[in-house]
Amino acid sequence: MGSLERSKKKVQLWKKAIVHFGLCFVMGFFTGFAPAGKASFFSSHVVASSKSQSLPQPVEMLHQQAASTPHAGYLNRSLIAESPMSTPSRSTESERAKFSEKEEETEPKFPPRRLAVIVTPISAKDPYQGVFLRRLANTIRLVPPPLLWIVVEGQSESDEVSEILRKTGIMYRHLVFRENFTDPEAELDHQRNVALRHIEQHRLSGIVHFAGLSNFYDLGFFDELRQIEVFGTWPMALLSANKNKVIIEGPVCDSSQVIGWHLKIMNNETDTKPPIHISSFGFNSSILWDPERWGRPSSVQQTSQNSIKFVKQVALEDETKLKGIPPEDCSKIMLWRLNLSISKSTSYHPLTTGSTDTSRRKK
């Protein structure tokens, strides 16, 4: 009996062991089909939601490849972390490019301004030289660049003039000549020729205007001056300190075409000198160093040292070359010249050619 019971107990133990092993095998088998963990579950949801959003195509392809690999969980984690950085901002870049193009289109494109070359002869005999020079400098300082102010001084360089020019903040050139003159008009012409030779020698390209110390300007004048192609002329008002009248000199225009001149009457006789006042015309400086460009042989200018005479001659040969400014029939006065009554002992002479000083008192 004892042996029979022992054998029955052994059989029961083996059965229990087999059943226990079978249950463990079945549980382990089904456990292998279960998801690897919570991370892969959430990552699959993120991938699914990311596909529903409008992500770029390359990122979606990477997510699909990652889901098909054995280590999908790790790859999905890395893609989720890198997806904000790997998304190219093509739309923002294109928007920025379009915005910059629109800005360039909306920005006004101004043509470059021409160089205005202002020539001013001065004389130490003028007692008001410093006052007038500062006043003219304050006017020129308001003119938009580029502008070059050429000041020509006679015989010796003045410390006062040099100091005034240095403090103006204007681009200038201070020229000095050593010749002596007894005729003030000849001296003024020589000063202008010194400036024109300087322009010719350095091939300064711009519009030349002769500005006397007693000239007063409308600032719009310099804008009109820069519009000159070859020659330009404009009306000028002559004012006298001791006379209640104004004399107009300059062109009569139809639009911008010169059709006649305002002539000044003196002593009941018509002034026979050229009708163009020295401050009433401007010209392109290239005619000095490139006359062939304007249909002039270069040998004509080289035979004469009087550049100002050459320029006047070219300007008066054909009035069709002259452009009247302002273009509205030259009807607007933008330049005034003041004649002051000064004693003869001061030897003051007006900065003009082709006119006489009628305001000088007779003793």
Kindly give the confidence (pLDDT) of every residue in the chain, 363 residues in length, as a single tens digit, with 9 standing for 90 and above: 566 677 777 777 778 888 888 888 888 777 777 665 544 444 444 444 444 444 444 444 444 444 444 444 444 444 444 444 545 456 666 777 766 666 655 655 667 899 999 999 998 888 889 999 999 999 999 999 999 999 999 877 778 999 999 999 999 999 999 888 889 899 999 999 999 999 999 999 999 999 999 999 999 999 999 999 999 999 999 988 777 788 898 899 998 888 888 876 544 445 455 567 899 999 999 989 887 776 666 655 454 468 888 888 887 777 778 899 998 889 899 999 988 654 333 333 333 333 333 333 333
List the structure tokens of 283: 């010209």
* 8 Å CB contact between 234 and 325: yes
* 8 Å CB contact between 139 and 220: no
Q: State if pTM tops 0.75.
A: no
Give the bridge partners for 149, in sequence order: 118, 172
| Rg, the chain, Cα only | 46
Give the bridge partners for 243, in sequence order: none
CA 90 to chain centre: 35
Listed in sequence order, the residues at least 6 apart from 323 whose beta carbon sits closer than 8 Å to its beta carbon are 227, 228, 229, 230, 231, 232, 233, 256, 258
- Residue 83's pLDDT is 46
- Residue 108's pLDDT is 55
Virtual torsion, Cα 87, 92, 94, 95, nearest 10 deg:
160
Query: Strand ranges (DSSP E) for 79-170?
Result: 116-122, 147-154
- Residue 59's pLDDT is 42
Q: What domains can be seen in the chain, in order of their start residue?
A: 116-346 (3.90.550.10)
- Residue 136's pLDDT is 97
